[in-house]
Amino acid sequence: MKGFIFGILLLAMTVAFAQEEPERTPEGYRIIRIQTENTKPYKDSVAKAEELKKEPVSFRLSFGVLASIGYKSVIGDCDVHYYHQDSSASIFNGAPVQVGLSVLIPLMKNNIAIRTGLLFETTYLFYQKKEVEGNRWKSIDDADDLKKMKWNPGNVSQGRLSLPIMIAAKPRTSPAMFEGGVQVSLPIFEKHKKEDLIDRELRSSVDVSLIFGGSVILSRYFTLELLWDLQVNRAYSDDLIVGLYRPWPAAIKFGVIFTPF
């Protein structure tokens, strides 16, 4: 009986410690076999096949109406009595409102399109008195210098026509896309109280902006859009406000595009 048990234990130990002789090359290097389904090219091909099975989200030639609202700020550098200060001030803040026509032209129906249109934008800009005067006057010791800085505080109302030209790009099956391009705008009016800044040559006659952001196609009829608008040309003269120079406007806008056609 003891011999039988000893034989079973010996057999178990032999099986436990037995190892299959690895496959080797003639030079003696061990050969490791990798299953095809574990390789990256195979996994990539499977993922690509699965992607192709999904329904694409396609661009289509469409004409729609865009409405948006946002936030706009005009920022200027401080230059007190001809001495530059290492600070800037928000001169005006306001909420731009845009309405108009939006057109989408597909180039590659699932990936690339051009978005353009014609928009009317109006903004009422509030003069930021505390921020402007705090930055301009914080380093002046001579009270007489304050009298030389004549600026009649007040808000600004403006309106302009804009022509955006953007490239929209997205993956084949994604409803979300990146948009970027330029926008050329023609100011129609810009008034500070009763004064017309365009007639007084304190306002540029044409605006050029970089616009970029993204949008999401919700359905055949609705698209949401979020864009940054950074003006690259000189919008205002340095004579707009004494003590501030290089006034620079920037805006962010959130809109909805309705495309019934």
User: Domain with 131 in it: what CATH number?
Assistant: 2.40.160.20
- The Cα–Cα gap between 255 and 96 comes to 11
Residue 11 lies in a domain: no
18 domain residue, yes or no: no
- The token pair at 129 is 């008195």
Q: What is the pLDDT of residue 79?
A: 64
Q: pLDDT value at position 142?
A: 45
* pLDDT tens figures, 122-175: 999 998 877 776 665 554 444 444 444 455 567 889 999 999 999 999 998 899
Asked if residue 8 is part of any domain, the answer here is: no
Q: What is the DSSP letter of 27?
A: T
Give the residue ranges of the chain where pLDDT is below 50: 139-149
Whether the model clears a pTM of 0.75, i.e. scores above it, the answer is no
SS3 160: strand
Structural domain boundaries enclosing 170: 59-139+146-258
Nearby residues of 87 by Cβ (< 8 Å), 6 or more positions away? 77, 78, 135
Rg (CA), the chain: 33
Give domain status of residue 33, yes or no. Answer: no
Question: 232: which residues sit within 8 A by CB, 6+ positions away?
Answer: 208, 209, 210
Identify the pLDDT of residue 93: 93
Q: Domain total for the chain? A: 1
